[in-house]
Every structure is written in C-alpha cells, then in structure tokens.
Amino acid sequence: MKTRISFNITFVLLFIFTSCADDFLDENPRNIIAPENLYVNKAGFEFGLNGLYSRVRYERNGANGGSNVLNNSAMVIGVDNAYSMMPAGGSIEAFLNTWGTTMVSTNGYLRDTWEWLYGVVNAANTIIIRAENPDVQWSSTEKNQVIAEAKLIRAWAYRHLTFLFGAVPLNLEESSGTNIKTDWERTPVSVIRTAMENDLLFAEQNLSDPAPYDGRVSKAVASHYLAELYLTVGKYQAAKDKAASVVNNALYGLTKTRFSSQSAKPGTPFTDMFLDNNANRSAGNKEVLWVLQNEYLSNGGDGNIMRRWYVNRYAEIQIGSKRPVTFSIENGGRGLGRFSVTKYGLLIYENNDDRGSYFGWRKFYRYNNSASLPPKSNLGDTLVLLTGTGPAHLRGFNAVPNETVGNTASNRLRPSTTKWDYAPSIPEDVQNSNNYNDQIYLRVADTYLLLAEAQFYLNDLAGAAATINLIRARANATPITASQVTLDFILDERSRELWSEEHRRYTLLRTGTWFDRTKKFNLIAGKVITLRDTIFPIPQVVIDANLSKTMSQNPGW
Amino acid sequence: MKAKKMKSLILLFFLGLLATNFVSAQSRVIKGTVIDENKEALVGVNVLMKGSDIGTTTGLTGEFSLETTMENPTLVFSYVGYKTKEILVKNELILLVSLAPDLTTLSEVVVIGYGTQKKSDLTGSVVSLSKERLSQLPNANFAQALQGSVPGLQINTNSGGSEGNELSILIRGRNSINAGNGPLIILDGIPYVGGISEINPADIESIEVLKDASAAAIYGSRGSNGIILITTKRGSNEKVSITYDGFYGIQQIARRPDLLTGEEFYNFKTTRINSPGTITQTEKAVYESGNFVDWYDLATRQGSRGQHSLSISGGSEKASFYLGATYLDVSGIAVNDDFKRYTLRPNLDVEVTPWLKIGSSSQLSFQDRTGLPVEFSDSRNTGGGANFFNPLTKPYNPDGSIAIYAWPEYNQARNPLSPLLVDNYDYGYRVFSANYAEIKLPLKGLTYKFNTGIEFEANDRKTYYGRNTAIGFQSGGTAETYHSIEKNLTVENILNYSKTFGSHSLNFTGLYSSQSNVFDRDDLEGQNFPSDVLTNYQMSSALLLQPSSTYFKQNLLSQMIRVNYGFNSKYLLTMTARRDGFSGFGSGTKYGVFPSASLGWNVHKENFMRNLSFVSQFKFRASYGLNGNQGVGSYQSLARLSYRPYLNGTTILAGYLPVSLANPDLGWESTKSLNLGLDFGFFEGKIQGSIDYYQNRTFDLLLNRTISPTHGINSILQNIGETQNNGIELGINSTNIDGPQLKWTTGFNISHNKNAIVDLYGDGKDDLASRWFIGQPIRVNFNLLYDGIFKSQEEIKATPWAAATDKPGYVKVVDVNGDNLINAFDRTIIGQLDPKLIWGLTNTFSHKGFTLMIFIHGQRGVTKENPLQLDNVFTDVARNTINKDWWSADKNPNGTHFANDANANYRGVNFYEDASFLRIKDISLAYNFSNKGKNPFGVQSSKLYFTARNLATFTKYEGLDPEFTNQYGIPLQREWLVGLTVGF
C-alpha cells in the first residue's frame, strides 16, 4: 500500500512538474494587433493605410482627441490673415498671439505635434518596409499602390515637420524596442526635401486618378504636393509642369455652377462646396482632391473641432440684458470664436466677390431666442454685425475694429467664416462640440494658384493672370491684367480663396514673406514676432532624450 | 519540537528512577520532565531554583536535572507561551511538571504562508491581528479592522460611499512609482484578486501581515509590497455550536461643507468682479421666490447599515465543518448609494485516513450594487454635481418629477438628481474556493499537500438613460450593457519535512505552483433609440452602437524552497529562495530569483537571562532579502498597434497604427530589504511588543522611460529607476490592570516611514511633468506657494515681481527663485502626500460583563491640497462655492481670503494644508450576559454591543476630510450601531 501511494504521488508530481511546459509563460494575446500579425496580407496593409488616413484627419481634431487645442493651430494662425480672437488661457493659440517668452521649447503643443507627425512617419515606414516582405501574396500593382499611399503620407508628414521645425531627423526606418536611438541627428532640409520628392514621385507614378473612393489620395494629390515642393525649392518649371498636369486634368475642375440639394436656396457655387454633404467627389464636387471623412453617430466617425474654433460666440451677444441669438443649425452650431480673421483678411474682398459675401462670412444673425428677446423686438429680426456704410453684402466691414483678443463684447460681433459650419440635425445635440461632416482638405483651386505662382516666377505674368482669372471668374470677382500680378497679389488671392483652408504659415514661408506680412497685417502677433519665430523650436524633449549626442536648437530659442 | 510521545516519557521516568541511586545524601539531584497540555515534552523550558542562580533548560525529551543542597527548593518553570509555574520540592526526586498554555501571550501559532509557525520561532516581521480586533467591531470589510492596528500598515480611505471599497493599502510605504503598491492578499492559502469588500469579515479567523523580505519571500515575486494572509474560520472537533450576530445602525454626514445659500450665492454672483455675472431668468425667478435649493440636502440622507450573520460549526473526531451565512445591507448617506452583499461560506476538513486529510474552504457571494448614486463629484458634472450646483435653480418640474436640466439656460450641466431616474442594475457574483489534500508520506515528518484555488467572478451591469435625463435627452436614449468574467486558477504542490535531532530542529518546505488569471470583458453602448420603453433590450434598434472588449491573461509559474533551522529554540535561521516566471515579461527575462535569509535569537532562553525573571521574552530578529513586483499587466512587453478607424462613405474601415514598442528585456521590479527587529515581553507577558527597523531599496522600477518622439513613439516601459523606504515601527500591548473587578489593556502602535526617489531615468534628472523629484518622496505637492493677499496698492508697488495685473485683494505668491518674476520656475515642493507617521491606540476596559473599547487613529506629516478654498465657479459663475472671508477694500478690509474677483487668483495658486489628523475611530461598549443558569433556549453566550464610528476628527485640514483623496465626493459617514451576538 505504502509503496503504491508514494509511487502515485511521484507520478502526480512528475506529471505536474512536466506538464507545465515552457509555453505556459508565452503570451498569445487574442485582442492585440501586433506588426507581426497585421502586415501579412493586402488587407492588413490596407488597415495600416487606414490608420495613416485617420492620423491625417487628426490635423483638425483637438489635441489627444479632446475638444480643445486644434492640432493645426500653428499652421494657420499667427500669420497675416488669421489670429486667435478668444484664446484659452495658456494655450498654443494664445502663444501664437503673444510669442516672445510665451513660446518656449517645452511647450506641450509643439511636443504633441512632433509626436503626432513622427508617429505617422513611423507608421508609414513600417508599411513601406514590411511591404517588401516576400511572404505577402499580392500583385506588384497592389503592392505599389500601398507603398505609394504610405509614401505620399510620409511626405505629407515631412512637409509639416520641415515647415514647422526646419531641419529635423530624417527617419525612414521602423522603430524597434531593441534599438532605441539616443543619437538622432538633424538632417538638412534640402536632403529631407529630396526624400519627399522621391516619395511623391513614386506616389504619382503608382496612384490611380481619381482615388478609388472618397477620402483616399489620388495621383493628382501627389502632383499637387510636388508642385508645391518644387516652388519651395525654386524649381519653377517643374512646379509649373506638375501643377499644370492637375489643372489640365479633365477629371478635376472648378465648381462654377450651383449644385446639390441646397442649390435651390440662395447661395454661390463657391460656398456650395462647403455645405454639408457636398464635399465629396461622389456628391458631384469635381474640385476636390482630398476630402477628410467623418460621420455622425459612427464608430469610425471621429469628429473635428473646426466649427468650435471658427464659429463665433453669437449666443453671448448681449442686447441690454438679453441674449436674443441662440444656437442653431443655420447659425453654424456652437462655436467658441477661438480663431478669427485679421482686419486685412476681412477687407481684401471687392464688393461683388462671392467669397466675401454673406454666404461666405456670417455678417448678421436673426433673433431666434424667444426666451430672451429685447423689448419691442420679434423673432427673425436681423442683428447686423457692426453696422456701417457700404454695399449691402459688405455692410459693416469698414467699421470692423482692429483685432481684439479675449473676453470682450465687441469680438462677439466679429464676422466669422461659414466654411466649417456644422451641427447635427438632432435639436438637442446642436451644441455638440464636434463636426462630423466630410471636409475638404485639398482642392484644385489651390493647384491653380500654385500654377499661377510658378508662372509668376517664370515671368509668365499673362499666364499667371489668366490662371488667377479662372479662379476669380468663378467667384464673380473682376478679372485682373498681367500688370497686376505680383507675389502679394497672389498671396491676397490665396487668402480670399483659401482662408482657413490652406496652411497659411507654410505658404508665407515658401514665398519668404511670413515675417514681413505677419508684421504688417497681423495687428496682434505682428507687434511681437521676431525673425527667430520663423521656425519653431525643436521640442525640448527631443533634445533632452538625445542622451548620447547633442542636438542643436534652432537659432534664438 | 514536542515530538516524543507519552511512551518515551514513561521510559524516561524509569530511567530517571534508576539514576537516583547514585546521588549522595547532602546534595541531591532533582530530575524531571516538563510536558505541555497535550502531554508532549517541552524543549528549552527554563528551570530556575528560586533564590539562587542555579538553573537549566529542558532537553529534547523535556527532561532536566538540577543538583541542589537546598532542603525545600522552589523551582520556577518558565517557557514562552506558557504560564510560569512554581513548584515547592520536598522529598521528590523525580518531577513530572505540566505547563499550561498562556493564551494571552506568544504561544499562538501564526500563519506564515505555506504553513504555520510558533510565534516564538519567527525570524521575520509578521504581525498578527488580534482576534478581539476582528470580532469586537462590526466592520464592513477587513481593511477597517486593519487600519491603525498594525504598525507600518497604512490604510487610506480615499472617498466615502456605502461599499467602503475606495481604499488603498500600503505596507511600509510606497516602493513603486508606476507599478502597483498594494500588498498581495492570500485568502486561505490562495492569492486573492477580488475586491476588499467582497470578503466577509465575519468569516475571518485570523489575519497576518508579512512585512519584511524574509517573511514575504515565500511569495517572492509579488512580496515587495508585503503580504496579507487571511484565514477563515474552521470547525472544531467538538459539538455543534450556532452563533448569530446581527447589527443595525445609522449613518450620518460627519462633516458638511459650508456652501453658500441661495441668498449668499446671489450676492456672490452679483458682486463678483471681472465676470459677466448675468443672472439668468431661472436664477432670477428662484431668487425672487426665495425657494432656494439646498442641493446637499437633496443629495444626502440618513444612511443605514445592517447585517445578519449566522454560523454553524462543529464536527466529529474525523471531520469538522464551519458554515457561515451573512447578509449585509448598506444605504449610504448619498441618495441611491446602496450596497447589498450575500455570502455563504462552507468550510470542511476531513481526516479520510490516518495519512490523508482533505479540506475545502469556499465563499459564494453575491454583490448587489444596483442604483446609480446622485452625482456628487465635480468631474462628472460640469455644474459641479450636488456639491456645487447652483442653488438658484429648479430640481423638479412643476409636476414634481426630476427636471432634465435644473438650470435650463446652462444645459451643459445636468441635474445631479437625474441618476435616480436611470434604470440600472449591477450584480457581481463571486466564487472563491480553496481545496487541499494533505498526505503523510511514509518517511516520518514528510507531508505532501496539494492545494488548489479557483476564483471566479462575473459582473453584470445594465444601465439605461432615458430621455428624462440629460444624457438620454441629448442622445435619444443611452443604453450600456456590461459583462465581465474573471477567472483565477492556482495549483500548488507543497512538500514539507520536519525533523528534530538532538538540539536541532529542521523544517523544509518546497513548493511548485502555477497561477493563471484571465479577464474578459464585453461592453456595449447604444444610442438613439425609437423610444425609452424597451430600455436596454432594444440594442438592435440603436442608431449608434459602440461595442468594446478587453481580454487579458497572465500566468505565473513558481518554485520555492524554505528551510527553518532552530537550535535549542534559541538560535533560529530561516532561508528562502523563490523563483518566479511571469508571462507579462520579455521572452528572455520572464524569470526572477528572490532569495532571503533571516536570523532569530531568543535571548531570554540564555542562561545569563535566567535571573531576569521579569523578562518573559527578548528576541532579536534580522533579515535581508530580495523581493519582486511584477507590477504590470499582460502584453506590456509586446509591440502593439492601436485601433484608428477611417471611413469609406458610411462604412467603417478598420485602421491600425503602431503605438508601443516591444521590450523583450522587460523584467522584475525588485526590492532589497533589511529588517532588524526586537520582540520583548515583560512581567509574564503583561507588557509585550516589538520594534522593527527596515530599509527597503527598490530598483529596476517598471517605469515608462521617455524616448525621443522621433521614434514615432514617446516612451517605452523599462526597468529603470530606484526608490527607497526607511522606517521604524513600534507595537506594544500591555495589561495595565488585571484585577478581578477591572481589567485594562492598551494596544499602541506607531510607525514612521521615510520615502524617497533615488533615481529615475538614470540621468539624475527630475521628472517635472510627473512631479517626481530625486531625493523627494514619490508623491509630493508641487506648485506655486501661496503667500497671502495684497491688501493695498502700496504693497503691490513694494513687491518687485508684481505685475500690472495685480490688484489689492489678489493672491500673492512666493518668488521662490528670487528673480522678481513669477513663472513656472517658482513652483516648489509643498509637503508630501503619504504620511510620515501613522499610529493607532486601543484601550479596552472590562468590568464584570462590560467591555469598553476606544480606538483612536492618526496620521502626521501629510500635506494635501484643499480645493474647496478655490472659487471654482467658472467665468459666468455657474457653480456654487463654500463660504469664505472674501477681502474687499470697502466692505471687508480685514478679509483673509482673496477677493471675490474672477482674476484674483489668476496665477492659479492652490491651497495646501496640513492634513495630519487624529480620529476617534471607534468606541464600542459590549455587555456579555452571564449564561450560567439554565435557560430554555440553550443559550451558551450572548453579547449586546453598541458602537460609534468616526465620532470625531481633529485636524487643521479644512477640506472635506483629511484622509480622502477626492474632496468633492460623498462625505465621510459617522455611524451608530447596535448589535447582538448569541451563541447556542
């Protein structure tokens, strides 16, 4: 009996000791996506590309997915035509007004921006490198299409990085936990631009025209960015060729007629494009090159804060003790008036220009708050912002005061753009913080103006005037003559056409005009900026984490 | 050590008889044997001839021999854990002395993990919670019994609430910066992962706290934060007994913030400078009507706590059982904050054959947390929750129903009472079962124990926000369905060998075990339903469905060897080594080895101590060892991609983006600790206690090291950094009066801990963003330093750093670096958040049937922010605030608080206060009825008791409560309970 027992126990022990094989401690997570199990087939690479697009879309979101700090702040304000009207205290938009000692290398926004863009770079690198894995079963067309999109978005990220920070490390590798680098080096901007050119040329060669569906990039997007890149590096003929290839492409063209369901209502072809449901090529909008996709009540819908940032705080307009204007869809939804147009930006439209009309800029509100009507007034009464003299559609503009900042009553009366209007149609949700509409990111009008710029540099002033006049004609603005074409005129025209759409800071940097024009036209930041502010400081964390090699800071920071 | 049986004693007796023949007449030899209550030999008993320095100790078979010339000597027998006995020896040459155990002293056997040990043989720092402490007070959970009763154990109640689950336990300070700091809880031998509130305190027999490396080393990998061993009650081999215990009590708010009334709020709002301060129509109407809302009143109530528990225990010679059933019902002081717990505990031990014993201890419990409490907290409601909601609003509609928006003009804030309208149920089901089979192997002293534990918890929650609540109104109805399952399986093989040879005793324990933990959660949120009628049961018709799920699994594989060696019970040595493998670490670094060694020296058993008869115990302990902390969850060493979807039209396209890097070198966070201890007992154990000094150095911290974001990823979890905890602990129990009429005992413990970060990322730099500073405790306050207020324009002019924006009534700050500029560089460390000193004092008085117990608990050396000092009312004064002595040039020039001006504290200075406190935690009065006479019901014992809890708190801290981390939440409750225990 006893020997039996001990035999049994020995057996049990042996069993238990040996059955716990080594793989007991191996992790086989069911719910985690890792590079090794994602990039194995075409679908996996497509998932990777979707991740990239999602991060491009992030440009118009709040920092870290919240509803504050617009990620593209530094790209669009602190320039000649835009500033922060009602900044949140201590935020990046406040510092883009005040610069000086408030803009420092430890600023969290700059750090977040660097992290975001290099996150895109690393994700794109991972796709580009892993696409060469011979185990993946796909055709070379499929493979090149994936690599092309990843390369275009990588170039997109370096475009931001070089314009914002100057010479940054050129990272073309997939990051790995076993190879943490502490000796990054800053790559000369020219070298980075060569890499961008290569990426964009590859993309141009391998992408389809138009894109397979809304939201993805096409060959034309690659050509557009190549045109801009060549303008930046002074290759004007190449720039002209690339821009012309898009402008002359019959697939794309300016929206010259009213379209879509809203076309029966008063409006203009120009402003039609920004109305809800009109942004996409599939909706009949042939002018768009790249549209960011959002969706209300959808798990992939995301939502950006463009309207929150650009629509003014009309519900706080006080008449006596009353607040007769309240949140509504026709007022654009609920806004915080964080960003606004400078006096310069507002006054550069001529009377008949659609882009400056009250369809493009909110110049009056109608009383819609029955709970708070001033004495002797009715619902529907018009509240004209800043009354003054002049043509009806511009009324008040002459009386627009200089830029104001902060919690003042007068800035609630400042006109705001209608490009980013949006409110969910559910009445109780009209105060929602986010936009969920599809938004134009890049359109061919921008390419026209790149073409005009190239023509200007190539001294083809007549050609430039002709190109610009195509844009102006669509907006009912008076045609110009070749003698009127100057760089300043092109920049004015870009502001009229692309206000709050283009990365104005990059446009000014490309043309070497940021400092002078901002000083001249931005009455807030213009007083304080110095040449140091032409490029932002390298985020301190980048310098601090570079433990084994000193990384130089940009001059003056 | 008392191994020999009666047979050998008798043999010895005869041998002793023979030996006497050789003794001379003048000096005789007195021989004898000392046995215990079970007639087993006691080794190492001090035998002293009273009035002389002649003495000896008993040998291995309990025998002793003393030569004397005294005629009628008195022999004094003393032994730790036993009552000292004096025997007058007349003619006898051979004595058989039986010592009775002294239950009040150190004889107890304590649970030490994978076995038990006599307290006198301990070499590590192990503290047992006294049984009185467990049984005397009607605690809601075991942590309440531990608070203030074990030196070095810090229990912090983080917020109020019915369940009392919001607490944190720290043993000997905070070792880890990022990884967990909570101790490992072992329930009936099995690691327990569930909530503290889910163990029924009525079922607990004993709690041991293992504090130093040596004691905790047996759980090596997870020992660095200390271990709490909980053992539940078991049956005895006696007749069946039945015990009923029930109590009921009420709960009241211990401290209510002094909020502004409607009138005061109106004045505050209308006189506030630099804020629009527009009184909205609702506010105006309420103000004019005078029907101000006291939101605090609406949100709170008199709470109650009641419990019934019935236990039956007993057994026969071969089997014993314990069966306990308890029902707890708490209605917290916040409206709708309810908690119910039903538990059933069947424990069983069976001696199947002389060599096989099996047993089981299980807990089946059901937790019912149904109902959402009113919104109290600041963060959940932009209107401030019930704490700070505007009193000039209307909580109810004209028909008496709860309004969606109490303040229609400010519909960013929802009605704090709306949770009362939410359809909610919240159930937790838990099974915890520990089972063993113990086999005596053929080799004497060798046993094998097979131990298994299974823990299973399911949580099931459904919540529906209808259109009558703001959440539901804005979303067209929101439904949340939550379901989670957690499984924990432990298998242990324990081999134990005990042997005594000569003066040597040896115990060997070997372990091979595995543990596996799985968590699986499914969550579904639906929005926009056709109607509210079908509540949660209409997910298919939601316009937006947001599912989410979590899954993790972690495995642990361990081997452990422990050797206890004792020489004459005087010199004790324990050596332990444990090797652990954890699945969550990198492929090459999954295993860690954690050795430790400790020594004990029972000085009082030495001959030279024999004359100091007032010393009943004097023992030195020293231990040194290494413990680990796995501290991170699963999959942390793997590269991961996060979900970043995109769209094609309305079709969602899955998208992924790399977010973390693999770290195949990720491994154990480790703590080296040294413990020096002294256990003492005087006057037959009337005064006893221990002093411990410890030094813990934790290194290879699991920290997120910041890497250059140029990698596209900002940090990687690595083993870097180092922290240190040094401390001293004292615990004393004394019997001050032990008379027939009155008995008075005191238990006191105090501990001091000094915590510091030694290094972070290897570059000697502080981490400002995380507020971690080298040389400072892990948790500190770091901010601008308040320096009163400006009282005049002259004062501002005289202040070099003052800016044009500064005005009289505005906050002054200290220009810490003296550069005449106030900016981020003037932030400074303002005290620490973990206490430097914690203490507890229990006094118990017994007189006839009455027992009165008073327990006081305190902390010192804590500094906490008091957010209530700020006027966080938003620019448009959307929230209430508490009453303050606002400075005003004309109306209140002697005011102490900054002016009622939106810009008065524009630099955002926070207020820090000394959060040291002394709290009269419990006062309990019990009366034990005498049941000597016969009674018709067979009542054996009965006790009536009355307890008051959180009776008074003495502190300089002016926030909600000095112990809380959330000063906006549900306040602390004061309790008055009455209870009855009857035993049959």
Digit-coded pLDDT (tens) for B794-833: 999 999 999 888 999 999 999 999 989 888 788 999 999 9
Query: Chain B, 268-327: which have a CB under 8 Å from a chain A CB?
Result: 278, 281
Residue from B234, B235, B215 nearest B225 by CA: B215
Q: With the C-alpha atoms ordered B281, B287, B289, B295, is the resulting torsion angle positive or negative?
A: positive
Both structure tokens of B338: 């309810």
Task: Name which of A9-23, B423-437, B465-479, B495-509 the model is least confident about.
Answer: A9-23
The pLDDT of A412-426, averaged and rounded, is 89
Contact B646/A54, CB-based, under 8 Å? yes
Would you say B286 and B394 are in contact if contact means Cβ atoms under 8 Å apart? yes
Percent of chain B with pLDDT over 70: 95
Contact B476/A426, CB-based, under 8 Å? yes
Taking the C-alpha atoms of residue B48 and residue B66, their distance in angstroms, rounded to an integer, is 9
The full DSSP string for B877-908 is T-B--B---B-BTTTBTT--BPPSBTTTTTT-
Tens digits of per-residue pLDDT, B533-553?
999 999 999 998 989 999 999
Tens digits of per-residue pLDDT, B135-157?
777 887 888 888 888 888 888 88
Percent of chain A with pLDDT over 90: 72
Q: What is the ipTM of this complex?
A: 0.91
Residue B101 phi, psi dihedral angles, 5° rounding: -65, 145
Would you say B262 and B286 are in contact if contact means Cβ atoms under 8 Å apart? yes
Encoded amino acid at A3, one letter: T
Contact B557/A24, CB-based, under 8 Å? yes
Q: Is B504 on the interface with A (CB under 8 A)?
A: no
- Interior angle at CA B138, CA B136 and CA B142, nearest 5: 90
Taking the C-alpha atoms of residue B591 and residue B585, their distance in angstroms, rounded to an integer, is 8
Task: Name which of A6-20, B157-171, B594-608 the model is least confident about.
Answer: A6-20
Would you say B758 and B723 are in contact if contact means Cβ atoms under 8 Å apart? yes
- Residue B556 has what pLDDT? 92
- What average pLDDT does the structure give for chain B? 87
The pLDDT of B485-499, averaged and rounded, is 94
More confident residue, A74 or A28: A74
- Residue B809 has what pLDDT? 94
Question: Is the pLDDT reported for residue A400 higher than 70?
Answer: no
Backbone dihedral region for residue B908 (phi beyond 0: left; psi -120 to 50: alpha; all else: beta): left
Taking the C-alpha atoms of residue A521 and residue A82, their distance in angstroms, rounded to an integer, is 9
Please, which residues have CB within 8 angstroms of residue A117's CB and are 6 or more apart in sequence?
A157, A160, A161
Pairing mode, strands B656-660 and B669-682: unpaired
The pLDDT of B729-746, averaged and rounded, is 91
Would you say B538 and B529 are in contact if contact means Cβ atoms under 8 Å apart? yes
Question: Is the pLDDT reported for residue B13 higher than 50?
Answer: no
Q: Is B552 on the interface with A (CB under 8 A)?
A: yes
Q: Is B219 helix (H, G, I), strand (E, B) or coil?
A: helix
Both structure tokens of A47: 């998932």
* pLDDT class of B380 with cuts at 50, 70, 90: low
Closest-CA residue of A relative to B713 is A119
Tens digits of per-residue pLDDT, B286-335?
999 999 999 999 999 999 999 999 999 998 888 999 999 999 999 999 99
Would you say B204 and B216 are in contact if contact means Cβ atoms under 8 Å apart? no
Of B474, B528, B657, the CB nearest to A51: B657
Tens digits of per-residue pLDDT, A315-330?
988 887 788 999 999 8
Question: Is the pLDDT reported for residue B22 higher than 60?
Answer: no
The pLDDT of B189-211, averaged and rounded, is 85
- Residue B464 has what pLDDT? 97
Taking the C-alpha atoms of residue B413 and residue B94, their distance in angstroms, rounded to an integer, is 89
Residue B201 phi, psi dihedral angles, 5° rounding: -65, -25
- Residue A347 has what pLDDT? 87
Taking the C-alpha atoms of residue B57 and residue A346, their distance in angstroms, rounded to an integer, is 104
Contact A50/B646, CB-based, under 8 Å? yes
The pLDDT of A295-313, averaged and rounded, is 91
Q: Is B33 helix (H, G, I), strand (E, B) or coil?
A: strand
Which residue in this structure is represented by tokens 């008040």?
A396
The pLDDT of A82-87, averaged and rounded, is 96
Question: Is the pLDDT reported for residue B352 higher than 60?
Answer: yes
- Residue A521 has what pLDDT? 97
The pLDDT of A121-130, averaged and rounded, is 97
End-to-end CA distance of chain A: 86
Taking the C-alpha atoms of residue B878 and residue A146, their distance in angstroms, rounded to an integer, is 52
Q: Which residues of B touch A25 (CB under 8 A)?
A: 555, 557, 581-583, 590
Encoded amino acid at B453, one letter: G
Question: Is the pLDDT reported for residue B128 higher than 70?
Answer: yes
Q: Is B402 helix (H, G, I), strand (E, B) or coil?
A: strand
Closest-CA residue of A relative to B665 is A178
Mutate to test the interface with A, among B656, B714, B719, B874 (most CBs of A within 10 A): B656
Residue from B598, B576, B467 nearest B530 by CA: B467
Task: Name which of A355-364, B195-204, B550-559, B575-584 the model is least confident about.
Answer: B195-204
Taking the C-alpha atoms of residue B724 and residue B757, their distance in angstroms, rounded to an integer, is 6
* pLDDT class of A82 with cuts at 50, 70, 90: very high
Question: How close, in Å, is residue B552 to chain A by CA atoms?
Answer: 7
Q: Is B543 on the interface with A (CB under 8 A)?
A: yes
* pLDDT class of B763 with cuts at 50, 70, 90: confident
Element (H, E) at A225: helix A219-233
Q: Which residues of A touch B584 (CB under 8 A)?
A: 27
Taking the C-alpha atoms of residue B310 and residue B323, their distance in angstroms, rounded to an integer, is 8
- Residue B325 has what pLDDT? 94
Taking the C-alpha atoms of residue B424 and residue B438, their distance in angstroms, rounded to an integer, is 46
Question: Is the pLDDT reported for residue B274 higher than 90?
Answer: no
Taking the C-alpha atoms of residue A205 and residue A188, their distance in angstroms, rounded to an integer, is 26
What's A54's DSSP letter? H
Taking the C-alpha atoms of residue B524 and residue B483, their distance in angstroms, rounded to an integer, is 9
Question: How close, in Å, is residue B510 to chain A by CA atoms?
Answer: 12
Question: How close, in Å, is residue A32 to chain B by CA atoms?
Answer: 7
Write the burial class of residue B546 (CB in 10 Å: 0-12 exposed, 13-18 middle, 19+ buried). Answer: middle
Taking the C-alpha atoms of residue B376 and residue B918, their distance in angstroms, rounded to an integer, is 26
Looking at mean pLDDT, say which of A525-529, B38-42, B311-315 comes out highest: A525-529
- Residue B206 has what pLDDT? 87
Q: Is B217 helix (H, G, I), strand (E, B) or coil?
A: helix
Of A53, A121, A547, the CB nearest to B712: A121
Query: Taking the C-alpha atoms of A234, A240, A243 and A246 in order, what is their torsion angle to the nearest 10 degrees?
Result: -160
Task: Name which of A101-115, A253-267, B443-457, B927-941 the model is least confident about.
Answer: B927-941
Backbone dihedral region for residue A10 (phi beyond 0: left; psi -120 to 50: alpha; all else: beta): alpha
Q: Which ranges of A58-179 would DSSP assign to H, the alpha helix?
A: 73-76, 92-98, 108-130, 140-165
Of B649, B657, B708, the CB nearest to A214: B649
Question: Is the pLDDT reported for residue B484 higher than 80?
Answer: yes
* pLDDT class of A6 with cuts at 50, 70, 90: very low
Question: Is the pLDDT reported for residue B937 higher than 90?
Answer: no
Task: Name which of B61-65, B256-260, B449-453, B798-802 the model is least confident about.
Answer: B61-65
Counting every residue written for chain B, the total comes to: 984
Residue from A203, A37, A58 nearest A120 by CA: A58
Taking the C-alpha atoms of residue A84 and residue B752, their distance in angstroms, rounded to an integer, is 53
Tens digits of per-residue pLDDT, A7-56?
444 444 444 444 445 688 888 887 888 888 899 999 999 999 999 999 99
HSE at residue B916, side-chain half, CA atoms within 13 A, is 8
Encoded amino acid at B735, one letter: T
Q: Which residues of A touch B527 (CB under 8 A)?
A: 297
Q: For chains A and B, what is the number of CB pairs under 8 angstroms?
A: 222
- What average pLDDT does the structure give for chain A? 90
Closest-CA residue of B relative to A89 is B906
Task: Name which of A5-19, A104-118, A258-272 the model is least confident about.
Answer: A5-19
Residue from B360, B442, B491 nearest A8 by CA: B442
Burial A169-188 (b: 16+ CB within 10 A, else e): bbbeebbebeebbeebebbe
Of A49, A184, A301, the CB nearest to B710: A184
Residue A497 phi, psi dihedral angles, 5° rounding: -85, -40
The full DSSP string for B662-703 is --TT---EEEEEEEEEEEEEETTTTEEEEEEEEEEEEES-EE
Question: How close, in Å, is residue A533 to chain B by CA atoms?
Answer: 22
Question: Is the pLDDT reported for residue B25 higher than 50?
Answer: no
Task: Name which of A409-413, B19-23, B538-542, B804-808 the model is least confident about.
Answer: B19-23
- Residue B155 has what pLDDT? 85
